[in-house]
Amino acid sequence: MTQALRLGIAGLGTVGVGVVKIVRQHADLLQARTGRPIEITAVSARDASKDRGVNLSGYAWETDPVALAQRDDIDVYVELMGGENGPAKASVEAALASGKDVVTANKALLAIHGQELAEKAEAAGRVIRFEAAVAGGIPVIKSLTEGLAGNEITRVMGVMNGTCNYILTRMQSQELGYNALFEECAQLGYLEADPNLDVGGIDAAHKLALLSSIAFGTKPNFDGIEIEGIQQISLDDIHQADDMGYRIKLLGVAQKTARGLVQRMQPCLVPSGSALGQLEGGTNMVVIEGDAVEQVVLRGPGAGEGPTASAVMGDVCDLARGLQIPTFGRPATSLQDAAPAITGLPAPYYLRLALFDKPGALAKVAAILGDAGVSIDRMRQYGHSDSTAPVLIVTHKTTRATLDVALDGFRDTDVVSGEPVALRIEEV
Ligand code: NAP
Ligand code: HSE
């Protein structure tokens, strides 16, 4: 019989258990599709006594993931523990050094150490696969590296954090504030162990760094991403955006421009009727634009046991078939340093300010914008019950750098209370 592909799985949480279930339940299907059996040899997690709802008795248990990665009886090391350093990094390095291919769902690890690990993999003649690290069950890595390989990619964008999209769409549909929905997500177990990874935009930015690298042939450059979270978004912003025909989304955009590589992960206003505007709940969407294909829209579950395990198994099946594609779609040593854009592309902006309700306040704000070179498209003061008056401003197209001059001006004046909210209005 053809030799089995033998897996060592480190991490038996949500994703790891999902992978064990697929290997067990679909053994015949996997063999039929790949031409060889796929088996689990050994597993690792912290607590050997935990009931995980799957039968692990046939697999060797390793307490140390590095020891698991080095076992002679595995071909592929499947890292499903998480964390950008610690055992995840040490065990992936050990696996590559001992001649194993690696499959991981760990976006933080690859966004930070991807270049170094990809070079190690290539030096060892191995590959790292990470479909599950970006947009859960959506086969976006495969689309970019394989299906769209004939295109010059011009832009990649999308909603890549299900928790943030859940919060923002529930704010809209349930008329609940950000804090109430943050609590709801905590109760439902939707938040990462460090919730700032979700609501601070960091988890989604890790994913964007990986897509950007594949799309533009650059080394993953997480530090080059402009990141803003959704913590400042109020129900008022949701209502005002709705009135203007927009929805607020935590949107990631990576785009190669004449000014350099633009990479940002920020809450933006997108047209309500657009595919991105209509994206509800925890679903993810990635939009890829290429010179030949024009536009491809991928939509699907961004997280959870089944969808994420599905993506892991897609990678495992490719390895079983002998498919060896470089980590970021081309040799790691050929990836260029990303040249970050010095100024971003101009766009209209939505601004919300709380003004102290006194004569001349609005005039001062208009003057600060004018002095910075920001032109006002629309301005409106609306109902209020305390000493501050909320003011909504929509600007004509401007760059973020120009707008930042005005935002600094607002902070220095005595008429603006608290931190202004500034959201880009994105053409999608
Ligand atoms: P999880 O439920 O928290 O599970 C983590 C697993 O890793 C647990 O089984 C834990 O052991 C094990 N572990 C942690 N430290 C370990 C160590 N030092 N040695 C051995 N085992 C260790 O996490 P998850 O949600 O499955 O996520 C796993 C990875 O997938 C992460 O990189 C995450 O970002 C990524 N991911 C997750 C999803 C999702 O929907 N959950 C989606 C996309 C990507 P114990 O069980 O014994 O504590
Ligand atoms: N916390 C992530 C999300 C999990 O909400 O999308 C999947 O990476």
Same domain (yes/no): 290, 357: no
Two tokens, residue 164: 């943030």
Q: Is the CB of 302 under 6 A from ligand 2?
A: yes
First and final CA of the chain: distance in angstroms? 52
Same domain (yes/no): 211, 279: yes
Q: What pLDDT, on a 0 to 100 scale, did the predictor assign at position 358?
A: 85
Q: What pLDDT, on a 0 to 100 scale, did the predictor assign at position 344?
A: 80
Two tokens, residue 352: 């919300």
Tell me the chain's radius of gyration from C-alpha atoms. Answer: 24
Across the range 133-161, mean pLDDT stands at 98
Q: Is the CB of 305 under 6 A from ligand 2?
A: no
CA of 28 to the centre of ligand 1 (A): 27
Among all bound ligands, the one having the nearest atom to the CA of 10 is 1
**Residue 378 structural domain:** 349-425
Q: What pLDDT, on a 0 to 100 scale, did the predictor assign at position 335?
A: 98
Q: Please give the sequence-ordered ranges of beta strands (E in DSSP) within 241-385, or none if there are none.
A: 246-257, 260-271, 283-290, 294-301, 349-356, 376-381
Collect all residues with Cβ–Cβ distance below 8 Å to 116 and sequence separation of at least 6: none
Q: The dihedral of CA 220, 70, 307, 188: what is its sign? A: negative
Same domain (yes/no): 167, 208: yes
Confidence tier at 342 by pLDDT (50, 70, 90) = confident
Domain tally for the chain?
3
Across the range 346-372, mean pLDDT stands at 94
CATH number at residue 403: 3.30.70.260
Amino acid code (one letter) for 398: T
Whole-angstrom distance, CA of residue 310 vs CA of residue 214: 21
Is residue 409 pLDDT above 90, yes or no? yes
- Known catalytic membership, residue 256: no
CA of 10 to the centre of ligand 1 (A): 8
Residue 145 lies in a domain: yes
CATH number at residue 168: 3.30.360.10
Which residue's CA lies nearest to atom 42 of ligand 1? 303
User: Using one digit for the tens of pLDDT, what is the confidence trace for 184-206?
Assistant: 999 998 999 899 999 999 999 99
Say if CB 7 and CB 316 are below 8 A apart: yes
Whole-angstrom distance, CA of residue 273 vs CA of residue 278: 6
Same domain (yes/no): 263, 114: no
Same domain (yes/no): 72, 156: no
The tally of CA atoms less than 13 A away on the side-chain side of residue 423 is 28
Say if CB 83 and CB 110 are below 8 A apart: no
The three-state secondary structure class of 298 is strand
Is residue 381 pLDDT above 90, yes or no? no
Atom of ligand 1 nearest to the CA of 304: 40
Q: What pLDDT, on a 0 to 100 scale, did the predictor assign at position 386?
A: 73
Q: In what order do the strands lie in the sheet with 38-44?
A: 60-62, 38-44, 5-10, 76-79, 101-104, 128-129
Across the range 169-173, mean pLDDT stands at 97
Strand partners, 390: 354
Residue 227 lies in a domain: yes
User: Using one digit for the tens of pLDDT, what is the confidence trace for 98-135?
Assistant: 999 999 999 999 999 999 999 999 999 999 999 999 99
Same domain (yes/no): 113, 62: yes
Whole-angstrom distance, CA of residue 285 vs CA of residue 160: 7
Q: Which of 207, 219, 249, 256 is catalytic?
A: 207
Query: CA 305 from chain center: how many Å?
Result: 17
Same domain (yes/no): 204, 245: yes
Provide φ and ψ at 286, rounded to 5°.
-125, 130
Q: What pLDDT, on a 0 to 100 scale, did the predictor assign at position 384?
A: 67
Q: Is the CB of 82 under 6 A from ligand 2?
A: no
Same domain (yes/no): 104, 169: no
Q: What pLDDT, on a 0 to 100 scale, did the predictor assign at position 259?
A: 87
Confidence tier at 385 by pLDDT (50, 70, 90) = low
Exposed, middle or buried by CB within 10 Å (0-12, 13-18, 19+), for 19?
buried
Across the range 406-421, mean pLDDT stands at 94
Residue 254 lies in a domain: yes
For all residues of the chain together, what is the average pLDDT? Answer: 96
User: Using one digit for the tens of pLDDT, what is the confidence trace for 266-324?
Assistant: 999 999 999 999 999 999 999 999 999 999 999 999 999 999 999 999 999 999 999 99
What is the pTM (predicted TM-score) of this model?
0.96
Same domain (yes/no): 226, 119: no
Q: What pLDDT, on a 0 to 100 scale, did the predictor assign at position 1?
A: 62
Q: What pLDDT, on a 0 to 100 scale, did the predictor assign at position 357?
A: 83
Pick from 58, 220, 53, 43: which is nearest to 130 by CA?
A: 220
Across the range 153-170, mean pLDDT stands at 97
Q: What pLDDT, on a 0 to 100 scale, did the predictor assign at position 15?
A: 96
Across the range 397-423, mean pLDDT stands at 95
Q: Is the CB of 224 under 6 A from ligand 2?
A: no
User: Using one digit for the tens of pLDDT, what is the confidence trace for 42-56?
Assistant: 999 999 999 999 999
Pocket test for ligand 2, best of 106, 161, 184 (most atoms within 8 A of CB): 161
CATH number at residue 106: 3.40.50.720
Residue 165 lies in a domain: yes
Q: Is the CB of 240 under 6 A from ligand 1?
A: no
CA of 181 to the centre of ligand 1 (A): 24
Same domain (yes/no): 361, 380: yes
Whole-angstrom distance, CA of residue 79 vs CA of residue 15: 10
Provide φ and ψ at 126, rounded to 5°.
-120, 175
Q: What pLDDT, on a 0 to 100 scale, did the predictor assign at position 343?
A: 76
Is residue 167 pLDDT above 80, yes or no? yes
Same domain (yes/no): 164, 260: yes
Two tokens, residue 90: 């040490």
Residue 358 lies in a domain: yes
CA of 163 to the centre of ligand 2 (A): 6
- Give the rounded percent of residues in the chain with a pLDDT score beyond 90: 92
Residue 315 lies in a domain: no
Confidence tier at 21 by pLDDT (50, 70, 90) = very high
Full DSSP string of 244-282: TTEEEEEEEEEEEETTEEEEEEEEEEEETTSTTTT--TT
Pick from 87, 105, 142, 98: which is nearest to 121 by CA?
A: 98
Across the range 360-385, mean pLDDT stands at 91
Who wins on pLDDT, 386 or 31?
31
Residue 205 lies in a domain: yes
The three-state secondary structure class of 106 is coil
The tally of CA atoms less than 13 A away on the side-chain side of residue 56 is 25
DSSP type of residue 56 = -
Whole-angstrom distance, CA of residue 162 vs CA of residue 233: 16
The tally of CA atoms less than 13 A away on the side-chain side of residue 249 is 34
Same domain (yes/no): 66, 176: no
Residue 33 lies in a domain: yes
Among all bound ligands, the one having the nearest atom to the CA of 203 is 2
Q: Is the CB of 304 under 6 A from ligand 1?
A: yes
